[in-house]
Structure 1
Amino acid sequence: MNTTTEEVGELQVVKSLQVYAVLFGCIMALGLPLNAVSLWILLRRHSLKSPNTVFMVNLAISDLLLIISLPMRVYVYATGNWPFSSTACLVTAALFYTNIRSSSIFITFISVDRLLAVVYPLRSRHLRTSTNAWKGVGPIWLIMLVASISVTVKLSGRPPHNHTCFVPHDTNDTAPKISPAAYLDLVLTSSLLAVNVVCTAMVLWTLRSHLSESAKVKNKLNVMLIFVLNLLIFTVCFLPMPIIQVTGLQSLPITCLSAVNCCLDPLLYYFSFDAFWKKQDVEPS
């Protein structure tokens, strides 16, 4: 009877993992063309002299790097086997989580840039330059790279649980160890969400007040949709992950939900430009 119960349990786990293989496969199939086409349009038809474009190009690159890590997840969830080394597992996982963090930061940069463009269009002109935008994104990539390498080197050599990778497993520990990085992620994500909330409130207040500086803002509905979409991505895709991590648990549904952001981000590009498909030399207001 015990053997039968164990076999049934293992069969249920296999079936659930296969469901996640399909879900991650769908995210990859949708996110790859959306971000690849968006990146091509941003580079080909919109000038990198715009800080908004600089942030969005880096966001698209971040999403594409996240998508690159998904094929191995699909393979593992479909077969239940990790055929490569533990280091390869760590690198692939680091690529996934690092680019979720960088995406949250770049989205916040976009919110702050839109805030300055709408609320302080004249006073912020000297700040909203492509040079300053690159100065902002450059250190982010450097920090993410250093953090990923350090974690990979520190954990390198540890075999994946039961020779698999990305698969949560039960633990007998009554009090699972929680990494300090989990608390740092929660603080970072909560802080970035707070910044987006403040930006959204200030822009909404400015647009509704019809202040002189914001009177010439075009497509006000699109402007607000950018902020609404940013808040949606943060609350649905980014925030649940660090909350789960500080509990010491692992959750495939939350991980899957986090990856969905790469499919939602291309909407930001569309709403951020009055004519996304048309070539522009000057950033719209």
Structure 2
Amino acid sequence: MPRNTSSSNCSSVDVTFQSTLYAATFTIIFIPGLLANSAALWVLCRFVNKKNKAIIFMINLAVADLAHVLSLPLRIFYYIKHTWPFGNFVCLLCFYLKYLNLYASIVFLTCISVQRCLFLMNPFKAKYWKRRYDAAVCIVVWMVVGAACLPFPIMRSSGLGKNETTCFADLGLVKPSVPTAVAMLTIAELSGFVVPLVVIVYCTWKTRQFLQNEEHLVEHSNEKQKAMRMVLTCAAVFFICFTPYHINFIFYMLVNLNIIKNCTVLNISISFHPFSLCLASINCCLDPVLYYFMASEFRNKISRNGSTVMHRRLMSRESASSVKE
């Protein structure tokens, strides 16, 4: 990222702290993110045949988080050593995985919120919904998000040919024409942030409204409360991790394009950019909270089923012993 401002009228912005910030943040979230998402994949895959629709989306969300987490050691190495010996391809791949995780997480969180909300209010739709429909949605999501994230590493590849020892925040930024950049920024913000934000807020509001109706709380209230907590968690992860980044990213790009030249806005956007990226990375540790709700739901079902099976076995043994007597 730039270490000075885009306008000669503004004083230089010192962002040398970002290497320490990135190294510390990635070190802190690596172990919890790796353990939590690996355990989540193992647990979720065990229950993949259970009758719960959101599990397919959660498995894909865990895969997206794990892909980013596995690239963190290379990022930590670079920000500590300030050199990159792993080649251009690995550099751009790690850079790509960051944004793939960011936008795949946004879409899968949106899918979980929508599905939970719809199936809570329309249980008959949940009954007839096929798991393969979720799998098809996930394939489309990976294809669309994967293609949409390609411009991020492409726009940061300008300095690779000149200096192969730099990567990530120290890469140059390819500046397209202003109309092209504004169009790309608008599409990215609308499709990757504004629309998911509106959908998640609406689903959270509708779910809360539905659960506040006493008529609907008479039956299966525990499961419905878990659905509410899951939707609220989706909204919380979205607001904490992704909202600061996307709001600041608008000003950050306009500053780099010399469209915004106000020194105050320029200084704030460039200085806050590293912090917003760190917040976006924390989602790898917050997403497993969703998996906890899912695992507890399965655990309750298994305990109920296990109690039923045990009861039947005891009854059959008592019947057999009475026959022998």
Range into which the TM-score falls when normalised by the shorter chain:
0.7 to 0.9
In the alignment, which residue of structure 1 is the partner of 2:186? 183
Within the candidate set 267, 271, 277, 2:293 is matched to 271
1:271, 1:153 → 2: CA distance? 38
Aligned AA for 1:261?
Answer: N
Amino acid at match of 1:82: W
Q: Once the two structures are superposed, what CA deviation does each residue of 1:113-134 show, in whole Å capped at 9, x if it has no partner?
A: 11122111124433x3211111
Match of 2:169, SS state, is coil
Q: 1:195 aligns with which of 193, 199, 216?
A: 199
- Find the partner of 2:278 among 237, 256, 260: 256
**Can you list the C-alpha shifts for 1:34-90, whole angstroms capped at 9, x where unaligned?**
000011011124426532111111111111011122122111111112223333322
User: Which of the two has higher C-alpha Rg?
Assistant: 2
Question: 1:151 Cα shift?
Answer: 5.8
SS across alignment from 1:122: helix
Task: Look up the match of 2:59.
Answer: 57
Shift of 1:238: 1.3
Distance change (3 Å), C-alpha of 1:154 and 1:78 = closer
Partner of 1:4: none
Q: Percent identity?
A: 28
Q: Which residue of 1 aligns with 2:234?
A: 230
Letter in 2 for 1:133: D
- Counterpart contact for 1:119–1:214, Cα < 8 Å: no
Q: In the aligned structure 2, how far is the partner of 1:269 from the partner of 1:38?
A: 6
> Which segments of 5 or more consecutive residues in structure 1 lack a partner in the other structure?
1-8
* 1:154-208 residue CA offsets vs partner (Å, 9 max, x unmatched): 765642896422225899x9x9994643332211211101111111111111111
Once the two structures are overlaid, the 10-residue window that deviates more, 262-271 or 203-212, is 203-212
SS at match of 2:168: coil
Aligned residue number for residue 104 of structure 1: 106
Match of 1:114 in 2: 116
Q: CA RMSD in A?
A: 3.3
| Counterpart contact for 2:156–2:172, Cα < 8 Å | no
2:309 corresponds to: none
> TM-score normalized by structure 1?
0.81
Matched, 1:246 2:250: yes
Find the aligned partners of 2:169 and 2:64 in 1 and give their Cα distance: 24
Unaligned ranges ≥5, structure 2: 1-11, 254-268, 305-325
Q: How many residues align?
A: 269
Separation in 2, partners of 1:108, 1:68? 24
Structure with a larger share of its residues in helix: 2
Return the letter of the residue paired with 2:200.
N
